[in-house]
Structure 1
């Protein structure tokens, strides 16, 4: 198979962008009748956390099913995925299959490096085509601004991203009820601070801590910390007046010691604060967080860190500002524009959208990591206990649950989650506490530049200012804050989002 030689204008621009080029590509072996065909495949994601491994068992099994074997070409020494991708492009040659971020695959797809896949899928990939026909967001979320699909996406599954957690054992000890609104939440945090729920005779409790983003609490006052949709328009939460109210309250909570005083700098807060019986409430991923009830049951006897519903905010609404997005990972696999047999390439990718291929990528190898019981996969004891009980890392060692082109199955998570997490996820799903989801928008190259240049300035300034406000290092002045955003080009920034949103709605 021949690799795509980049057109000169594209190559020249990339050399300027990346500061040079290097030829690290390797050639594929030509396939012969009756033999497995080997294809070069570039996959370097999450800054080196995911680099394709030729020995992954799932892809070896896929080779037996499809007659195609992948050979990884991404440099294992690189720790910068964007740089690795750009160097691969700048080398002037593109492997037959390329994994990458949507914005880059679309950009170079529109410039001729990757094949538009719409017709190929319709004619040769029935499993992928079924997704297109059943989910209108499949194309809307992944196609380029020109309307063409240049990648087969990785689709995540499930709805709930983060949930509130609270120490039920502390509530019980203090004879308190689960808080149902923001005022009750404040009173509970105050009691955690003052009434010694850990029983050590010291006022050392940390009522609320965060391991992701303290601004998730801003929804308690009807505010949001990034772009969101309201009445058909995209807005930027920190620019809206409700954000000022949220900051005033969070600053007051911080001053009273209700928020972790090291909330902006503390690393691994769950391990430290729960492990030392100091932490009272938080918001984070339910699966991993509920797991601390198991890992700490001996060192913190009676710990009962449970999911609670979002407290009603000052507007009487229960809101969870985070939500999983099917296509929010913005990852997928593209096909080089000059492969000799594009039909074979798309059929290969289609396998992973089949029931068999999806099960392979979600659960690994039958008899090794899972067994079928009553028609459903169940993880083996080996899968559940290897790698110190980290089932996800164990599956990834086989090549399952890596962000290749396939549809994740949320049921795989429920098989290893603590029941507290499963119950909480079901509660949040049933309660539908989520705001309208931001769709996975596609941007033109010019729009991407605006979001990179102006958007980075805005978000950096926001983060620095919020930290000063909450810690009391600077007086909250929202009018001045908004003026600074305007000076940075806020109007262009928010216009880009709304123009992309209009295209999404009309596509």
Structure 2
């Protein structure tokens, strides 16, 4: 999915389960081995129906009160670390859960320290995990425990999810094991995009731009006039972006080569490396020109999320790339469209386009692992399996059934939470229901009957962008086992270098129009292992 990668956390917001059809390994799982050395199949069930003397194999609660607890490490923006549905699951299961929560900006560093020290949580979850970690700590080191046999033995709901088209294949690592709790959900076809303040447009007497030239003219008007109407014509910041999800390179699509944050583009339905292309250079040159004119936030490459949001909350941004406008504007959604509009795809008359993020669903295969520090992993698996039951999924996604959502003959009705007390609204707000970087599940296409449905900004974005989206998405892949260490080093180096050089070209620290400096940048990519990086990712060509 910020305090995560907003992209992706808010992606989790609308996640509501899904049919999935992504490619992956077609190998089958081998017998899972429990941390104590025995196999899942060898677990004993006593006369009371308990597995290994702890877990009731069927029904609720899962354990006797006070007999089992586990810890979860994850990234989240919660200030209190308290979540309504965790309390509900405690009542249902008798399992105690200790949350170890860190902001996304610091979670990765803390997780690395924990893994290196051996003092890591029983469950590690959130947006800090990635494929390389699954392969390194799961396949190679055994720190992450194989889970497929626990799922088969104890988890009917998770098994149902894995049996959706393509999901098991996507979840299965190259060694045939599944190391993570599945997170399968409906998803938006467009994640991050620019949002423009229509009130500012009206204040400066401009129409919605349709080309990059018109867009630049709008940004100049925002800078030179009192666009926000506060009496100060010098405090406006025409353009900025989410610090954790800049997606500046995505605008290369306006020049004919849609790109993702890894530098991959799509040309004639083929994935290419676009981070060394003339189109990307053209974009950087244009952005540098606007940066030098003061049309781009001077802190765009240095500010943190709090600074970005603080400026937006003070009505200083005319345009910003974000997952949704409320992320930076501070203006919460209502039943009517707010003052921010989706900036349309520009230059469509000349082939302007945008990268399609998903086909309407996602399989997140790195959201939660169980480590070898966990006792009785079968309890944890069943705990998540219970969390994925329909009404628990509703509670994690929308609010508890019987309080925010009510079951009627024609379906589940969600009330307007503004009818609740301020204390209840805070307690039952989306971010306080469930750690939103952890897996949750709703059946694909599940809809609530809303009392007062809010304006759907993401739907408006998808409708506006659909005619100009690439038909394809960049396919997922697993790193070959014999290239895990090499790829991990290359991927980190290339990603850091790509972002660093992007900032230097846009800010003018490097001269994007100097052929020698541009060639030095390209040579640097190859020196870091670009060709090996492309081979692992299945990218065959570098775009010219």
TM-score by length of 2: 0.69
SS in 2 for 1:186: helix
Paired with 1:256 and 1:99, the residues of 2 have a C-alpha distance of 43
Report deviation, 1:309. 2.3
| Partner residue in 2 for 1:480 | 520
| Partner residue in 2 for 1:14 | none
Closer, same or farther: CA 341–184 of 1 in aligned 2, 3 Å: closer
- Whether the 8 Å CA contact 1:328–1:440 is kept in 2: the answer is no
Paired with 2:430 and 2:393, the residues of 1 have a C-alpha distance of 14
| Partner residue in 2 for 1:245 | 282
Paired with 2:256 and 2:406, the residues of 1 have a C-alpha distance of 47
SS in 2 for 1:226: coil
- Whether the 8 Å CA contact 1:107–1:144 is kept in 2: the answer is no
Closer, same or farther: CA 329–167 of 1 in aligned 2, 3 Å: farther
Report deviation, 1:59. 3.9
- Whether the 8 Å CA contact 1:156–1:326 is kept in 2: the answer is yes
| Partner residue in 2 for 1:45 | 74
Closer, same or farther: CA 271–487 of 1 in aligned 2, 3 Å: closer
Q: Which moved more, 1:252-261 or 1:201-210?
A: 201-210
- Whether the 8 Å CA contact 1:173–1:197 is kept in 2: the answer is yes
Q: Residues 175-324 of structure 1 correspond to what in structure 2 (within 5 A)?
A: 175-199=205-229, 200=231, 202=233, 204-212=235-243, 213=246, 214-223=248-257, 224=259, 225-228=261-264, 230=266, 234-267=271-304, 268=306, 271-286=309-324, 288-289=326-327, 292-293=330-331, 304-312=339-347, 315-320=350-355
Report deviation, 1:420. 6.2
- For residue 144 of structure 1, the aligned residue among 161, 173, 180 is 173
- Whether the 8 Å CA contact 1:229–1:436 is kept in 2: the answer is no
Closer, same or farther: CA 232–184 of 1 in aligned 2, 3 Å: closer
SS in 1 for 2:538: helix
Report deviation, 1:242. 1.6
Paired with 2:250 and 2:426, the residues of 1 have a C-alpha distance of 27
- Whether the 8 Å CA contact 2:212–2:347 is kept in 1: the answer is yes
Report deviation, 1:337. 11
SS in 2 for 1:209: strand
- Whether the 8 Å CA contact 2:390–2:442 is kept in 1: the answer is no
| Partner residue in 1 for 2:95 | 69
| Partner residue in 2 for 1:16 | none
Report deviation, 1:328. 4.3
- For residue 165 of structure 2, the aligned residue among 131, 135, 155 is 135
Q: Which moved more, 1:209-218 or 1:194-203?
A: 194-203
Contiguous gaps of at least 5 residues in structure 2: 1-32, 39-51
Paired with 1:388 and 1:184, the residues of 2 have a C-alpha distance of 46
Q: Does 1:466 align with 2:502?
A: yes
- Whether the 8 Å CA contact 1:43–1:72 is kept in 2: the answer is yes
Paired with 2:451 and 2:288, the residues of 1 have a C-alpha distance of 40
Report deviation, 1:483. 0.9
| Partner residue in 2 for 1:496 | 536
Of the two structures, which has the highest relative contact order with CA contacts closer than 8 Å and spacing of 6 or more?
2
Paired with 1:416 and 1:144, the residues of 2 have a C-alpha distance of 44
Report deviation, 1:266. 3.9
Q: Does 1:4 align with 2:42?
A: no
- Whether the 8 Å CA contact 1:247–1:466 is kept in 2: the answer is yes
Closer, same or farther: CA 317–218 of 1 in aligned 2, 3 Å: closer
- Whether the 8 Å CA contact 2:312–2:328 is kept in 1: the answer is no
- Whether the 8 Å CA contact 1:151–1:335 is kept in 2: the answer is no
Paired with 1:406 and 1:205, the residues of 2 have a C-alpha distance of 42
Q: Does 1:58 align with 2:58?
A: no
Report deviation, 1:272. 4.8
| Partner residue in 2 for 1:443 | 479
Provide Cα deviations, 1:356-385, integer angstroms capped at 9, x if missing partner: 332232234334454446622425637977
Paired with 2:508 and 2:249, the residues of 1 have a C-alpha distance of 16
Report deviation, 1:249. 1.2
Paired with 2:102 and 2:235, the residues of 1 have a C-alpha distance of 45
- Whether the 8 Å CA contact 1:58–1:361 is kept in 2: the answer is yes
Paired with 2:193 and 2:149, the residues of 1 have a C-alpha distance of 41
- Whether the 8 Å CA contact 1:206–1:278 is kept in 2: the answer is yes
Provide Cα deviations, 1:204-230, integer angstroms capped at 9, x if missing partner: 533222234133433322343424353
SS in 2 for 1:202: coil
SS in 1 for 2:342: strand
Paired with 2:235 and 2:102, the residues of 1 have a C-alpha distance of 45
- Whether the 8 Å CA contact 1:114–1:337 is kept in 2: the answer is no
Report deviation, 1:42. 3.3
Report deviation, 1:425. 3.9
SS in 1 for 2:363: coil
SS in 2 for 1:455: helix
Provide Cα deviations, 1:19-75, integer angstroms capped at 9, x if missing partner: xxxxxxxxx9946899734444331012x768997x75524533555x562443869
Closer, same or farther: CA 215–152 of 1 in aligned 2, 3 Å: same
Paired with 1:149 and 1:457, the residues of 2 have a C-alpha distance of 28
- Whether the 8 Å CA contact 2:353–2:468 is kept in 1: the answer is no
| Partner residue in 2 for 1:83 | 112
Paired with 2:405 and 2:468, the residues of 1 have a C-alpha distance of 32
Say which structure is richer in helix.
Answer: 1
- How many residue pairs were aligned? 465
